[in-house]
Structure 1
Amino acid sequence: MTISPAEERICVGAIAGSFGVRGEVRLKSYCANPEDIETYSPLTTEDGSQSFPVVLTRVVKNGFAAHLGGVETKEEADALRGVLLFAPRDRLPALPDDEFYYSDLIGLEVLDTGGTLLGRVKDVQNHGAGDLLELQPPGQSATVLLPFTRAHVPTVDLDAGRIIADPPEGLL
């Protein structure tokens, strides 16, 4: 299935399992303002095969309790544990010049300040201390984590499909 830019979807959350016995789910939001996930409803699964209207019911530990359209029982909610939820990109807000959706960064070439290819962005991670670009260096199976800070990544050029990086000494 090919997705055109107009149909591009961004992962905005995940289902962490059931909440209670009436078909509610525990919902993790990946949005900058977590409660905004409801405004991007309906949300779809990664392959687009299922669509769910979302109604947040209350704040719970590490997320929200929510009703998803079509999910009526605890068993149905449990079966959705781990499912990522996506919103069409055109429903999401435009970002300032120095902010990016993770999906925009994945796959970009990373060059050093001298123009040497360092690799491609395989993933973007955040373990609580800031974003990290997971780079796949050419010809290597191991990946490298590059801090995604202005000091180490001075330029992101989405139009050209590349990132200019000044990695910390000894990283590569």
Structure 2
Amino acid sequence: MEEYFKVGIITSTHGLKGEVKVFPTTDDVNRFKRLKKVTLDTGKARDAGTVLEIEGVKFFKQFAILKFRGVDSIEDVERYRKASLLVPRSDAVRLRKDEYFVADLIGLTVRDEDGTEIGTLKDVIETGANDVYAIDLRDGRELLLPAIKQCVLEVDVEAGFIRIHILEGLLDGA
């Protein structure tokens, strides 16, 4: 399971006093108000040197504007452009029953109703009504399966699989 979750990506600087514009990759942009610190993913090992304490949060359109403690000029934050902001699993939002982190689902083995392995979960597509699971089937096709109770029979992240029911007609175009 993932140890860190991406909550946003720094897209650019904002103003001259060290603020950054962050494109949120979390469901709720307001969660930035509750965060005290984030880990900067520079592509290198995540260590104590990459933890940034959040001093201030504002919002502009779909972006969060963050100010980090001790980062006070545009020059200080310029190097953070395009970096991802991560939170450890312990700081992640609490999930309700039958909710899962997308990062924990990607790569799970997909089984049919009988338990036969049929593919791997490649992506979770968020739509207005419900999520859709993009599944790479063993025969090379892709199945787009609605993530609804009629189709998703069991999710066992610990055991590494999802058991599904394929509604009639879903494989016709795959």
1:97 positional shift: 1.6
Change (3 A) 1:128 1:20: farther
Residue aligning to 1:88: 88
Paired residue secondary structure (1:13): strand
Q: Deviations over 1:98-125 (max 9, x none)?
A: 1111111112111111222221122323
- Secondary structure of 1:67's counterpart equals strand
TM-score, length of structure 2 as denominator length: 0.77
CA shift in 2, pair 1:108/1:22, >3 Å: same
**Cα 1:22–1:107 shift into 2, 3 Å:** same
- Structure 2 CA distance for aligned equivalents of residues 149 and 79 of structure 1: 42
Is 1:20 aligned to 2:20, yes or no?
A: no
Rounded to whole Å, the distance in 2 between the matches of 1:27 and 1:53 is: 15
Tell me how far apart the structure 1 counterparts of residues 40 and 32 of structure 2 sit (CA, whole Å): 14
How far, CA to CA, are the matches of 1:76 and 1:145 in structure 2?
Answer: 44
- Contact between 2:109 and 2:119, CA under 8 Å: does it hold in 1? yes
Unaligned runs of 5+ in 1: none
User: Distance between the aligned counterparts of 2:79 and 2:132, measured in 1?
Assistant: 31
Q: Distance in 2 between matches of 1:84 and 1:68?
A: 14
Aligned equivalent of 1:42: 37
Structure 2: give runs of 5+ residues left out of the alignment. none
Q: Does the 8 A contact of 1:29 with 1:35 survive in 2?
A: no
Instruction: Give 1:54's aligned amino acid.
Output: I
The 5-angstrom pairing of residues 3-82 of structure 1 reads 8-46=3-41, 47-48=45-46, 50-82=50-82
**Distance in 1 (alpha carbons) for counterparts of 2:127 and 2:18:** 30
**Cross-structure match for 1:158:** 157
Instruction: Report the CA distance shift for 1:55/1:32 in structure 2 as closer, same or farther (over 3 A).
Output: farther
Q: What are the Cα deviations for residues 64-99 of structure 1, in whole angstroms up to 9, with x where unaligned?
A: 211124543335544433322111111224311211
Does the CA-based 8 Å contact 2:135-2:145 persist in structure 1? yes
SS at match of 1:40: coil
Worse overlay, 42-51 or 59-68: 42-51
How far did 1:24 drift? Answer: 0.9
In 1, are the aligned partners of 2:5 and 2:89 still within 8 Å (CA)? yes
User: Higher Cα Rg: structure 1 or 2?
Assistant: 2
Aligned equivalent of 1:111 = 111
Tell me the number of residue pairs that the alignment of Structure 1 and Structure 2 aligns: 166
Q: Would you identify which runs of 4 or more consecutive aligned residues in structure 1 move more than 6 Å?
A: none
